[in-house]
Amino acid sequence: MCGRLSQYRGIHDFVAVLSIPDALINHVGDEPLARYNAAPTTQLALLHLESNGLHADFQRWGWRPHWAKNRAAPINARVEKVAHGPFFRSIWPHRAIVPIDNWFEWVDAGDSTRQPWLIRRRDRAPVLCAAIGQFPRAGDEPRADDGFVIITADSAGGMLDIHDRRPVVLSAPLAREWLDPPATPKERTEQMALLQGEVSEVFEWYKVDKAVGNSRNQGAALIDEIP
């Protein structure tokens, strides 16, 4: 996963697919999010379940533990290591869903440039990415080092020609399980992340304009297919 995605529909459109009955505690507003070309360190809408209900907050894409100040904050965590490695140990229990519309990958275009591709669900439903992070619990104040990482897996089964890593995308029922740490044992969440992410056949991908390579460029034209 190269680190660029879109999150443009409104938060209620994303939440509707989860069918969580509790009222949403909404800190991101009701308007379309309109992030067509979100880069690392961008504040993205993040969903996490707390004792008082489902929260939607803006959180920074990227996180590192307090003892790793000498390196850039990763934006992704490899599913093969995330549950047991020391780097993400403190945030592994703090699970979240990053709902997105699509993500982008770049491949060699054969002319010394790189061609961006957009990847989305074939049914156009929200893409529910498994994530972990440090974010305010119910009643807590935000902290300067809050943030999140998206969990990634091998792009096996047809997507490898685009990129060798991709987000772990969960179905709506699995996303509800993922969001509920007290009810979902650690062993179960490891199984979900490793074995039950959506398969490649769920997705489609196509070329988009190279303007998406500049994160200052925004707008719906960036997600249009080009010949």
Q: Is 167 exposed, middle or buried (0-12, 13-18, 19+ CB in 10 A)?
A: buried
**Are 68 and 89 a contacting pair, CB within 8 Å?**
no
The torsion region of residue 157 among left (phi > 0), alpha (psi -120 to 50) and beta comes to left
**CA 47, CA 29: separation in Å to the nearest integer?**
13
Please, where are the H alpha helices in the chain? 11-16, 172-178, 186-195
**CA 36, CA 59: separation in Å to the nearest integer?**
17
Q: Per-residue DSSP letters for 165-176?
A: EEE-B--HHHHH
**Would you tell me how many other CB atoms lie within 10 Å of the CB of residue 13?**
15
Residue found by looking up tokens 């992030």 in the block: 35
From 105, 141, 177, 198, active-site residue: 105
**CA 188, CA 141: separation in Å to the nearest integer?**
30
Active-site residue flag, 105: yes
Q: Which of 207, 126, 220 is nearest to 162 (CA)?
A: 207
Active-site residue flag, 129: no
Write out the catalytic residue numbers. Answer: 2, 105
